[in-house]
Structure 1
Amino acid sequence: MSFFVDGSNDPARSSTRFGRDALTLMNIVEARLVADARIEDRTVVRPHPLLVTVRSDRLFAVLAPGAIWDRAREVLRPFAHKLASGEAMLVLVGSPAIGDVAGALNRGLGALVSPDPSADELYVAIHNVCELLESKARAEARGKWLNRYRYELGELIEIAKAITTERELDKLLSLILEKSRFITGADAGSIYVVEGDDPDPLRRTLRFKLSQNDSVPFDAREFTLPVSPRSMSGYVALHKRPLNIADVYDLPAVSPYGFDRSFDAKIGYRTKSMLCMPLLSRKGEVIGVIQLINKKRAADRKLRSDEDIEDQVVPFDARSEELVGTLGSQAGIALENAVLYTEIHHMLEGFVRASVEAIEQRDPTTSGHSRRVALLTVGLARALERDAAGPYRGVTWTKDDLRELEYASLLHDFGKIGVREQVLVKAKKLYPHELAIIRHRIEIASRSYEVEILERKLRLVQRGARAEELAALDQELSARKAELEAAYAAICAANEPSVLKGGDFARIEAIARETFTDFSGDVVPLLLAEEVACLSVARGSLTPAEIEEIRNHVVHTYQFLSQIPWGKQFRRVAVIAGSHHERLNGTGYPHRLRAEEIPLQSKMMSVSDIFDALTASDRPYKKAVPVDRALDILGFEVKDGHVDADLVRVFIEAKVWSVLEQPGAPPSALSALSPR
Structure 2
Amino acid sequence: MAPSTELLERSFALEEQIRKLNAIGIALSGEQRLEELLELIVKEARSFTGADGGSLYIKEDNRLNFLVAQTESLERRDGHNRQAFKSLYLPLSKESIAGYVALTGEILNIEDVYDIPPTCAYRVNKQFDRQNNYRSKSMLVVPMRDHTNAIIGVLQLINSLNGEGEVVPFKREYEGLVLSLASQAAVAIRNVKLIEAIRNLFRSLVRYSAKAIDARSPHTAGHSGRVARYCVRIAEAINEETEGRFGKVYFTPQEIEELHMAGWLHDIGKIGVRESVLEKTTKLSEAQMQVIEERFEAIKRSVQHAYLQKRVDAQLAGDASCDLPRLEKELARSLRQIEDDLVFLRRVNSPGMMKEEDCVRLHQIAGKTYTTVSGETRPYLTPEEYRHLSVVKGNLTAEEYKEMQAHVEHTIRILNKIPFTDDLKNIPKYA
User: If the length of structure 2 is used for normalisation, what is the TM-score?
Assistant: 0.88
Quick one: which amino acid aligns to residue 187 of structure 1? D
How far, CA to CA, are the matches of 2:244 and 2:189 in structure 1? 43
Give CA deviations for 1:223-268 in whole Å, capped at 9, x if unaligned. Answer: 3344332222222122223211122222211111222223433444
CA distances 1:562-614 after superposition (whole Å, capped 9, x unpaired): 443322222343x33xxxxxxxxxxxxxxxxxxxxxxxx35xxxxxxxxxxxx
Contact (CA 8 Å) 2:371, 2:378: kept in 1 or not? yes
Higher relative contact order, structure no. (Cα contacts within 8 Å, ≥ 6 residues apart): 2
1:230-245 equivalences under 5 Å are 230-245=95-110
| Partner AA of 1:258 in structure 2 | R
Name the counterpart of 1:479.
333
Deviation track 1:40-59 (CA, whole Å, cap 9, x = no partner) reads xxxxxxxxxxxxxxxxxxxx
Q: Distance in 2 between matches of 1:261 and 1:496?
A: 77
Return the alpha-carbon distance in structure 2 between the equivalents of residues 501 and 228 of structure 1: 78
User: In the alignment, residue 261 of structure 1 is paired with which amino acid?
Assistant: K
Query: Which string of whole-angstrom CA distances, capped at 9 and with x for unpartnered residues, describes residues 440-459 of structure 1?
Result: 11111111111112222333
3-state DSSP of counterpart to 2:392: coil
| CA distance 1:163–1:530, shift in 2 (3 Å) | same
The match for 1:587 is none
1:577-592 correspondence runs (5 A): none
> Quick check: 1:252 aligned with 2:117?
yes
Gaps of 5+ in 1: 1-133, 197-203, 302-311, 577-600, 603-676
**Aligned ranges 1:386-401 → 2 under 5 Å:** 386=241, 388-390=243-245, 394-401=248-255
Question: Does residue 170 of the first structure (1) align with residue 35 of the second (2)?
Answer: yes
Q: How does 1:228-627 map to 2 (within 5 A)?
A: 228-297=93-162, 312-385=166-239, 386=241, 388-390=243-245, 394-462=248-316, 463=318, 465=320, 469-498=323-352, 504-573=358-427, 575-576=428-429, 601-602=430-431
Is 1:194 the equivalent of 2:59? yes
Q: How does 1:24-103 map to 2 (within 5 A)?
A: none
8 Å contact 1:460–1:470 — kept in the other structure? no
- 1:525: how far off? 1.8
Q: Secondary structure at the match of 1:193?
A: strand
Answer whether contact 1:487 1:511 (CA < 8 A) is retained: yes
Structure 2: segments with no counterpart, 5+ residues: none
**Greater radius of gyration (CA):** 1
Residue 70 of structure 2 is matched in structure 1 by: 212
Alignment partners' CA distance in 2, 1:178 and 1:539: 67
CA gap of 1:538–1:150, structure 2 versus 1, over 3 A, is farther
Deviates more, 1:226-235 or 1:184-193: 226-235
- The answer to whether the 8 A contact 2:46-2:157 is kept is yes
In 1, Cα distance between equivalents of 2:304 and 2:396? 36
Shift of 1:367: 0.8
Aligned to 2:22: 157
SS in structure 2 at match of 1:348: helix
Label 1:496 to 1:267 Cα distance change in 2 as closer, same or farther (>3 A). farther
Q: d(CA) in 1 for partners of 2:343 and 2:26?
A: 75
Q: Is the 8 A contact 1:502 1:539 kept in 2?
A: no
Letter in 1 for 2:196: T
Match in the other structure for 1:57 = none
Any conservation in 1 of the 2:211–2:222 contact (CA below 8 Å)? no
Q: Deviations over 1:79-101 (max 9, x none)?
A: xxxxxxxxxxxxxxxxxxxxxxx
Shift of 1:383: 4.1
Whether the 8 Å CA contact 1:279–1:329 is kept in 2: the answer is yes
> Hey, what's the Cα distance between the residues in 2 that align with 1:240 and 1:557?
52
Counterpart-to-counterpart distance in 1, 2:121 and 2:355: 85
Counterpart residue identity of residue 169, structure 1: L
Inter-partner Cα distance in structure 2 for 1:501 and 1:460: 45
Distance 1:231 1:297 in 2: 27
2:293 maps to a residue whose letter is R
Paired residues of 1:189 and 1:291 also in contact (CA < 8 A): yes
Q: Write the distance in 2 (CA, Å) between the matches of 1:283 and 1:430.
A: 64
| 1:173 alignment partner AA | L
Compared CA separation, residues 478 and 250, structure 1 to 2 (3 A): farther
RMSD: 2.7
**Which structure shows the higher helix fraction?**
2
Q: CA deviation at 1:435?
A: 0.7
Q: Deviations over 1:70-115 (max 9, x none)?
A: xxxxxxxxxxxxxxxxxxxxxxxxxxxxxxxxxxxxxxxxxxxxxx
Shift of the 287–471 alpha-carbon distance from structure 1 to 2, 3 Å rule, reads same
Mapped contact 2:211–2:224 kept (Cα < 8 A): no
The verdict on how the C-alpha distance between 1:465 and 1:370 changes in structure 2, with shifts beyond 3 A counting, is: farther
**Residues 278 and 328, structure 1, Cα contact 8 Å, conserved in 2:** yes
User: What's the secondary structure of 1:249's corresponding residue?
Assistant: helix
CA deviation map 1:285-313 (0-9, x unaligned): 112211112223369x7xxxxxxxxxx32
User: For 2:394, what is the secondary structure of its paired residue?
Assistant: coil
Deviations 1:143-172 (A, max 9, x none): 654554454344333322221111111111
In structure 1, C-alpha distance between the alignment counterparts of 2:158 and 2:267, rounded to whole Å: 54
- CA distance, structure 2, for counterparts of residue 489 and residue 270 of structure 1: 90
In the alignment, structure 1 residue 182 sits paired with structure 2 residue 40: no
Q: Percent identity?
A: 35
Tell me, in whole angstroms, the C-alpha distance in 1 between the residues paired with 2:373 and 2:242.
71
Q: Give, in angstroms, the shift of residue 410 of structure 1.
A: 0.5
* Counterparts of 2:315 and 2:184, CA distance in 1: 109
Question: C-alpha distance in 2, partners of 1:478/1:277?
Answer: 100
- Classify 1:266/1:563 alpha carbon distance in 2 versus 1 (closer, same or farther; 3 Å): same
Q: Distance in 1 between matches of 2:243 and 2:379?
A: 63
**Partners of 1:464 and 1:265 in 2: how far apart?**
122
> Contact 2:37 / 2:189 at 8 angstroms: preserved in 1?
yes
CA deviation map 1:518-564 (0-9, x unaligned): 22322222222221221222333222222232233334334433443
The code of the aligned residue for 2:87 comes to: E
Give me the whole-angstrom Cα distance separating, in 1, the residues matched to 2:238 and 2:315: 84
Q: CA offset at residue 353 of structure 1?
A: 2.0
User: How many residues are aligned here?
Assistant: 421
Contact 2:391 2:397 in 1 (8 A): yes
Aligned to 1:658: none
The separation in 2 between residues aligned to 1:145 and 1:502, in whole angstroms, is 96
1:366 match: secondary structure: coil
The 3 A distance-change label for structure 1 pair 520 and 549 is: farther
Q: How much has 1:355 moved relative to structure 2?
A: 1.0
